[in-house]
Structure 1
Amino acid sequence: MWDERISQATKDGKIVVANFSATWCGPCRLIAPLYSELSVKYPSLTFITVDVDQLTEFSSSLDIRATPTFFFLRNGQHVDKLVGANKPELEKRVVAFAESTSIDERKSPLISIKR
């Protein structure tokens, strides 16, 4: 599923914002509403949520050591990373990436990747 979503985003010229989180993680739950809001507000980006407990090996392969961790990818390549539930910083980075791309305003669904 990850490869498919990244491939589609690359084909569409979209930047990916990937949220690596866990259901038991308090900070993840605190930032989830903002993340969801940003996914609606910035449809020029693709937002993906990855449950680190369900995709442990995959998360480890990307060196995810804390939750939440946000990865930003352009053309399938990692371009930025934010560790922690820093709401102002997450919004700042999402806005910056959204402004750096001029893609059509189709709705960008919030995708959850699970087993």
Structure 2
Amino acid sequence: MGNCLDKDESTDTHSDQHVELASGNVKLISSTEAWEQKLEEATRDGKTVILNFSATWCGPCKMIAPYYCELSEKFTSIVFLIVDVDELSDFAATWDIKATPTFFFFQNGQQVDKLVGANKPELQKKIAAITDSVPKWQ
């Protein structure tokens, strides 16, 4: 289990199940409003966003979660987010999620890439490509 959970613990009775998915610098998105706020903040700050649609019961999601958390600590200029597709099923449906994990990559508030599946080398490659392409104007 992960040792860090960055989430509002207010009234969520299922918070324990997220420990494996959201640790390190990974922020759990618990509402559509939270997603919109994080994307707006990142866009304003000129940061890249990675949005990971995941599930607590998903074997590949559990397998890649520690790696995703490691990447969040290595690439601190990127905002790493995660959505539990069961908790935010309506939100996930608007993204047409067919498999978990599914990663979306955003720059300047716009989707620039997508990765379906727990493919560590491909995830690393896409992050490297994005960090290499980030303009240095800020």
Scaled by the length of structure 1, what TM-score is found? 0.86
Does the residue aligned with 2:53 lie in a helix, a strand or coil? strand
Give the share of equivalent positions with the same residue, in percent. 58
Per the alignment, residue 4 of structure 2 pairs with none
| Structure-2 separation of matches of 1:9 and 1:38 | 17
Q: How many residues align?
A: 104
Q: Is the 8 A contact 1:13 1:103 kept in 2?
A: no
Query: Is 2:72 the partner of 1:39?
Result: yes
Partner of 1:6: 39
Structure number, greater radius of gyration? 2
Tell whether 2:113 aligns with 1:88.
no
Contact in 2 for aligned 1:18/1:70 (Cα 8 Å): yes
Match of 1:97 in 2: 130
Higher strand proportion (structure 1 or 2): 1
| Structure 1 residue 6, shift from structure 2 partner | 0.2
Which residue identity is paired with 1:70?
A: F
| 2:73 aligned with 1:73 | no
Residue 65 of structure 1: SS of its match in structure 2?
A: coil
Gaps of 5+ in 2: 1-33
> What runs of 5+ residues in structure 1 fail to find an aligned partner?
105-115
- Counterpart CA distance in 1 for 2:121 and 2:137 is 24
- Deviation digits for residues 72-102 of structure 1 (CA, Å, limit 9, x no counterpart): 0111111100000001000111111122224
Q: 1:37 to 1:22 in 2, by over 3 A?
A: same
Asked if 1:27 corresponds to 2:60, the answer is yes
Report the RMSD for the aligned CA atoms in angstroms.
Answer: 1.3
In structure 2, the residue matched to 1:62 is 95
1-structure distance, mates of 2:44, 2:104: 18
